[in-house]
A and B are shown apart, each in its own frame.
Chain A
Amino acid sequence: MSELVRKVSVRCEVNGESVTLEAYPMARLLDVLREQLKLTGTKEGCGEGECGACSVEMDGALVNSCLVPVLQAQGVKIRTIEGVASGGGALHAVQEAFLTYGGAQCGICTPGMILAAVNLLARNPHPDDAQIREGLSGNLCRCTGYMKIFESVVEAVRHSDEAEGQSGTGA
């Protein structure tokens, strides 16, 4: 890093909390989240936007944070894996499903994979098999062969539907 480059202040929201980041503008959002905010749930697997282990949401859109210069996080709402569970220890349906159906093995791809799944379901609450595969195609997993990940997503949808039905808010 050249001495001529100065750090900048980036004001954004991370997992619902307003934060001000002090960083070099071209620092990767991935590194700033991990090192400055100590949100180490987001992982680096490749540094080239191929594996998706660094997936986060920026204003609701899934992105690879290893490819985002932190300056571009200015004014953005960011969600990381740490912001997926609702408060009070309750997990998101996708997280519960991963636990029950074996969606995680070594776990390194899991944060990114869960973000991708949560993002998919937010856009499309009832994806078919092809849509699930496509929605997760940017997240590489070397352990599972994806089978139990798909199963977890399908079950998360089913449980959410049931929960909605039970609470009377479903159609």
Chain B
Amino acid sequence: METPRDLTETLDRMAKEPGVWKPFAGGTDLMVLLEAGKLPREKFLNIWNLAELRGIETSADHVTLGALTTYTEVRRHEILAREFPLLCRAAAETGSVATQNRGTLGGNIANASPAADSPPALLVYDAEIEIVSASGVRWIPYQQFHSGYKQMDLQPAELIRRVRVPRNKNAWRQYFRKVGTRRAQAISKVCFAAAARMDPGRIGDVRIVLGSVAPTALRAVRTEEVLRGQRPEPAILKVAQEALAREIAPIDDMRSTLRYRRTVARNLLAEFIESLAG
């Protein structure tokens, strides 16, 4: 592992030998894989201290977070706590204090675990990702970033620099529930993040995103369609649950079962819709 001086040097080295140098942030994912022998000993660029990747900026319309923003920093940020509670909940329920001090948003996104906790929150908030390389900068909707299991729109010479969320869901009703193996330090079995704009009595607009029920965090667009414009009532809930069951693709794995994930996803949708009726 080597420590580049700054972001420019980082990107230059990645451009010169694409795929050879892997960025290494807090290590909470990579070190576990290395220990388990699941990662070949690669060449790492220590980006932990790159100031260009840190910091949370607020404008009238957006909050922009550096890729190295840790979960601890997310939890402590006043505006995030107030306007982006789902992201703060995700951060608070990831690992434990020690993990939250070293885990980063950029790392969480790039590691692309289907069970990652912040992606569902970021998708509810219509996040955008800034990707940089020696040859330029581009922003893409986070929705388009993951294309499959551990597949993402990130070239070997590219780095995630920032994540941006619009400040437009402040008045939305928000819901987050992570069902894990236990109450702390748990990998999620089902993660459900949702928000709804209520036009009195009706669901004006809605976002529903689930983790751990598909190869990537899944925005349940068809379920959202079913719900848009509807009153949050039992009849429409049933239709929405059917749509959700068809949209998600849970599996059996070491932690849980397909049936459990599907049942719980449906039940959490019910819990969410019921909370809108109140």
Q: Which residues of A come within 8 Å of B, CB atoms?
A: 1-2, 25-26, 28, 47-50, 52, 55, 61-64, 66-69, 71-72, 74, 116, 119-120, 134-135, 137-139
Of B29-37, B81-89, B137-145, B156-164, the one contacting chain A is: B29-37
**In the bound complex, how far is the Cα of B204 from the Cα of A20, in angstroms?**
61
Min CB–CB distance B256 → chain A (angstroms):
18
- Does B24 make an interface contact (CB < 8 A)? yes
Which of these, B35, B72, B96, contacts A47 with CB under 8 Å?
B35
In the complex, chain A residues whose CB is within 8 Å of the CB of B44: 26, 69
Contact assessment for A68 and B102 in the assembled complex, using a CB-CB cutoff below 8 Å: yes
A-B contact pairs, 22 of them (CB 8 A): A1-B41, A25-B1, A26-B34, A28-B31, A48-B32, A49-B31, A49-B98, A52-B98, A61-B102, A64-B98, A64-B99, A67-B27, A68-B27, A68-B102, A69-B44, A69-B46, A71-B3, A116-B97, A119-B97, A134-B184, A137-B97, A137-B185
- Does B172 make an interface contact (CB < 8 A)? no
Contact assessment for A137 and B27 in the assembled complex, using a CB-CB cutoff below 8 Å: no
Min CB–CB distance B249 → chain A (angstroms):
28
- Does B113 make an interface contact (CB < 8 A)? no
Which of these, B46, B95, B98, B101, contacts A71 with CB under 8 Å?
B46
In the complex, chain B residues whose CB is within 8 Å of the CB of A48: 32, 35-36
Contact assessment for B32 and A63 in the assembled complex, using a CB-CB cutoff below 8 Å: no
In the complex, chain A residues whose CB is within 8 Å of the CB of B183: 137
In the complex, chain A residues whose CB is within 8 Å of the CB of B3: 71, 74
- Does B252 make an interface contact (CB < 8 A)? no
Please name 20 further chain A to chain B contacts, defined as beta carbons within 8 Å, in addition to the given A72-B27, A135-B97, sorted by A numbering: A25-B2, A26-B1, A26-B34, A26-B41, A26-B44, A28-B31, A49-B31, A52-B96, A61-B72, A64-B98, A66-B31, A67-B31, A69-B27, A69-B31, A71-B46, A74-B3, A116-B97, A137-B185, A138-B184, A138-B185
In the complex, chain A residues whose CB is within 8 Å of the CB of B184: 134, 137-138
Contact assessment for A2 and B27 in the assembled complex, using a CB-CB cutoff below 8 Å: no
**In the bound complex, how far is the Cα of B238 from the Cα of A15, in angstroms?**
60
Min CB–CB distance B32 → chain A (angstroms):
5
Q: Which residues of B come within 8 Å of A, CB atoms?
A: 1-3, 24, 26-28, 31-32, 34-36, 41, 44, 46, 48, 72, 95-99, 101-102, 183-185
Contact assessment for A138 and B27 in the assembled complex, using a CB-CB cutoff below 8 Å: no
Contact assessment for A69 and B185 in the assembled complex, using a CB-CB cutoff below 8 Å: no
Min CB–CB distance A40 → chain B (angstroms):
20
In the complex, chain B residues whose CB is within 8 Å of the CB of A63: 98, 101-102
In the complex, chain B residues whose CB is within 8 Å of the CB of A72: 27, 46, 48
Which of these, A26, A67, A137, contacts B32 with CB under 8 Å?
A67
Contact assessment for B97 and A67 in the assembled complex, using a CB-CB cutoff below 8 Å: no
Which of these, A26, A74, A134, A138, contacts B99 with CB under 8 Å?
A138
Instruction: List the 8 closest A-B pairs by CB distance, nearest first.
Output: A138-B96, A137-B184, A25-B1, A67-B31, A61-B101, A137-B96, A64-B98, A138-B98
Min CB–CB distance B19 → chain A (angstroms):
18
**In the bound complex, how far is the Cα of B40 from the Cα of A1, in angstroms?**
11
Given known contacts A47-B35, A138-B184, A138-B185, A71 and B1 CB-to-CB distance under 8 angstroms: yes
Contact assessment for B95 and A138 in the assembled complex, using a CB-CB cutoff below 8 Å: yes
Q: Which residue of B lies closest to A24 (CB)?
A: B1
Contact assessment for B1 and A49 in the assembled complex, using a CB-CB cutoff below 8 Å: no
Contact assessment for A49 and B99 in the assembled complex, using a CB-CB cutoff below 8 Å: yes
In the complex, chain B residues whose CB is within 8 Å of the CB of A134: 97, 184
Min CB–CB distance B247 → chain A (angstroms):
32
Min CB–CB distance B135 → chain A (angstroms):
28
In the complex, chain B residues whose CB is within 8 Å of the CB of A25: 1-2, 46
Given known contacts A72-B48, A137-B185, A62 and B27 CB-to-CB distance under 8 angstroms: no
In the complex, chain A residues whose CB is within 8 Å of the CB of B31: 28, 49, 66-69
**In the bound complex, how far is the Cα of B31 from the Cα of A2, in angstroms?**
17
Residue of B27, B41, B48 with most partner-chain A CB within 10 A: B27
**In the bound complex, how far is the Cα of B2 from the Cα of A119, in angstroms?**
30
